[in-house]
Structure 1
């Protein structure tokens, strides 16, 4: 099995169990991710070098419009897809085995956690990794300290409030907040004063 086959395994929603070839390869990939993120996080780098390191981490080209403020953490890295004009603020943690897609224009606040892995509830199944993808649509804004759980899709132009825990899909153009996150209002319903406050 190679890395591309492991990614396909995850993308098919198949679990990974300790003691298997998939798990051994996952550990190799995780160590590679730790090596790259250690370099990313322990010295100053130019924006160009940050994009180079993120390209190494993800195994994909990173657009010149991408901006990241380190530190950044990922325990796999190879199942992250980043669009254009994406901004990721400091101290974010991406657990991406199940797949993370960031649409064009996505804004990711400080200390956001995107977690695509779950575990079995039964003690004998708890060490198995069960993947499900996270998809962040175009122009989504995720506030500081939010957590997005496996299998969640956030529709374009939506806003996730700071500290929210998103356990289910968010429709396009909606604002959600709380734990678990619930619908608050539509972005389209914001008053002119509220829209100006967002730009302040």
Structure 2
């Protein structure tokens, strides 16, 4: 069986732009961009929920909120739990999968990125992906960036403007660029 480009990315393969299946990425992103027009044109929670289900293929739980505008490149690989709040102007690049567990708070202008390019210049015209997991009851402050392959632990706090380059342990507060532990939560 041939894997589609997203299955290949999620299994750890780096996909060069010259790959014959690379066009699937642009096609999926175009589909999502068209659907985002409707989501970002409403503030009605029921309409946002309906539009999100069109994008992601999953209904957003009635206890969860996405405040438009929101930006997502594919959407099919983002899972949002119950009692989650995603504030205005967040960007979710989800080709590597984003999992947001229950009771998570995400501030405005947060970037969650699962995609990356190789560092070596000769290999840079390619795309890789690693999953991001935001565990239960975590809080991500305004303008924070979560990079590919990161797990933010249960009850953790990522302060505003932080750039998370390493996993965040449960029950800690991290801050800075790169984010470092500044406090343990009892």
TM-score, with structure 1 as normaliser: 0.88
Structure 1 segment 90-101 matched on structure 2, within 5 A: 90-101=88-99
Structure 1 segment 23-34 matched on structure 2, within 5 A: 23-34=22-33
Q: Which structure has the larger Rg? A: 1
- Describe the superposition over 1:57-115 as per-residue Cα deviations: whole angstroms up to 9, x where unpaired: 11222211110110000111111011001100000001110110000011000000001
How many aligned residue pairs are there? Answer: 186
Q: Structure 1 residue 10: deviation in Å?
A: 2.4
2:36 corresponds in structure 1 to 37
Of Structure 1 and Structure 2, the greater helix share is in 1
1:125 corresponds in structure 2 to 123
SS of the equivalent of 2:15 reads coil
Q: Structure 1 residue 156: deviation in Å?
A: 0.6
Q: Partners of 2:64 and 2:9 in 1: how far apart?
A: 26
Which deviates the most, 52-61 or 142-151? 52-61
SS of the equivalent of 2:21 reads helix
Q: Structure 1 residue 19: deviation in Å?
A: 2.9
Q: Partners of 1:76 and 1:84 in 2: how far apart?
A: 21
